[in-house]
Copies of this chain bind each other. A is one copy, B any other.
């Protein structure tokens, strides 16, 4: 019998709040550690594989602070001998011309020698080389990257599933890739679906990126109608992870990727079930980032159907301030790690996995008011 399609409610950062419970703890007792393969990172915040966020210099600096920076192997760094020149061009463009410039500069091909060279620069600087490529380029670039010393491999496209229907190409075999590069961990993404997450975990990958369409530099929702707010995406995929863990004993972390602006957003994603988060625009706003105060999504360069714009972020703070403060900003945009620790302590959670059990509520109105007041302020400027 025909049935009416059922639509469930989905929630984003602005729709929810964390609720303190019956126990609290001291922030000093909190650990925010994230473990992947052999390594443990003290900061569970990944820097996105985006050209305005991570270049080899940034990767080195952020590694030394305990964080995880991902270099995009399909970006400007591996297409140009001197990517700084291109980054200068993008930053100098007016907004109307910027999309066309971005579409043009990404037409240059990715060079194998530059892949190796950039990874070498990270290693030489003492950083951990974590690299990302699209599924199409992974077969070709993964061996080069591993030879050059990459320690984590991220395979990321707009949407990733274990099953992909294709006539013209066989597609990347994830299970095979995982075996080939072992013991180097493979992270895949992005996905938002319970079933897709389970299937991806069964291929043997060591981590899943969660999130389609929420980023500040992304307009997938307008262009394609596609997207799902991050709290619901995290709740759904975290459930898949927990069930997979119960069935197999293997814990595959999920990393919520995109749409973050404040320490509150980071805390909410982790409370909702994320093991770590991946952020772009807050890093693009650091003095250390290669974006020169600008940020753009990787789908901005699509020549047929760009889904993103160049966004002016400004160079607001040092990486140190962004992550650890101290700060005089009271809007949550600095000291992200301090905020996470305080949130966890307020809920009595000493580890990220304990924090997954804290209570959240749907409470949109405060934020709506906040937004509305922001408009009122902006429109008065």
Is the Cβ of A221 less than 8 Å from the Cβ of B17?
yes
A290 within 8 Å of B by Cβ? no
| Bound-state Cα–Cα, A233 to B103, Å | 38
Asked if B221 contacts A367 (CB within 8 A), the reply is yes
Q: With A25-B164, A99-B330, A212-B20 in contact, is A224–B339 under 8 Å at CB?
A: yes
Task: Say if the beta carbon of A163 comes within 8 Å of chain B.
Answer: yes
Closest CB of chain B to A375's CB: distance in Å? 5
A320 at the interface (CB under 8 A from B): no
Which residue on B lies nearest to A160, using beta carbons? Answer: B24
Whether A312 is near chain B, meaning CB under 8 Å from some CB there, is: no
| A305 with B348: CB separation less than 8 A | no
Q: Give the residues in chain B near A17, CB-CB below 8 Å.
A: 10, 213, 221, 225-229
Say yes or no: A18 contacts B226, CB within 8 Å.
Answer: yes
| Residue A72 is within 8 A (CB to CB) of chain B in the complex | no
Q: Which residues of B contact A167 (CB under 8 A)?
A: 26, 28-29
Q: Is the CB of A304 within 8 A of B327?
A: yes
Q: Judge if A182 is at the interface, Cβ distance under 8 Å.
A: no
A379 to B246, CA, bound (A): 53
CB < 8 Å neighbour of A350 from B163, B165, B309: B165
Known A-B contacts A23-B165, A228-B17, A380-B379; A366 and B221 likewise in contact (beta carbons under 8 Å)? yes
Pair B235/A165 contact, Cβ less than 8 Å: no
Interface pair A300/B330, CB less than 8 Å apart = yes
Looking at the assembled complex, report how far the CB atom of A138 sits from the nearest CB atom of chain B, in whole angstroms.
16
Do A23 and B163 touch across chains, with their CB atoms under 8 A apart?
yes
Interchain CA distance A24-B238 in the complex, whole Å: 21
Give residues 1-24 of A contacting B (CB, 8 Å).
Answer: 1-5, 7-24
Kindly list chain B residues whose C-beta atoms are within 8 Å of the C-beta of A370. Answer: 221-222
Who on chain B is nearest to A259 by CB? B366
A22 touches B243 (CB 8 A): no
A308 to B350, CA, bound (A): 25
Query: How far does the Cβ of A98 sit from chain B's closest Cβ, in whole Å?
Result: 9
Residues of chain A in range 181-214 having any CB-CB distance to chain B below 8 Å: 191-193, 195-196, 199, 212-214
- How many identical subunits does the complex contain? 4
What residues on B are CB-neighbors of A228 within 8 Å? 17, 19, 361, 363
Contact of A374 with B by CB under 8 A: yes
Of the candidate stretches A86-94, A126-134, A172-180, A260-268, the one touching chain B is A260-268
In whole Å, how far is A211's beta carbon from the nearest beta carbon of chain B?
Answer: 11
Contact at B23–A225, with CB atoms within 8 Å?
no
Q: Which A residues from 253 to 276 make CB contacts under 8 A with B?
A: 262-268, 271-273
A38 to B370, CA, bound (A): 42
Q: In the assembly, what is the distance between CA of A141 and CA of B362, in Å?
A: 39
Most chain B CB within a 10 A radius of its CB, from A26, A213, A239, A264: A264
Tell me the bound Cα distance from A326 to B301 in angstroms: 12
Task: Kindly report which residue of chain B lies nearest to residue A164, judged by CB atoms.
Answer: B24
Kindly provide the distance from the CB of A321 to the nearest chain B CB, expressed in whole angstroms.
11
Interface residue A365 (Cβ < 8 Å from any Cβ of B): yes
5 extra interchain contacts, Cβ-Cβ under 8 A, other than A14-B369, A20-B193? A5-B273, A13-B225, A29-B166, A221-B264, A222-B262
User: Would you give 5 A-B contacts (Cβ < 8 Å), ordered by A?
Assistant: A12-B365, A20-B212, A99-B330, A165-B350, A224-B332
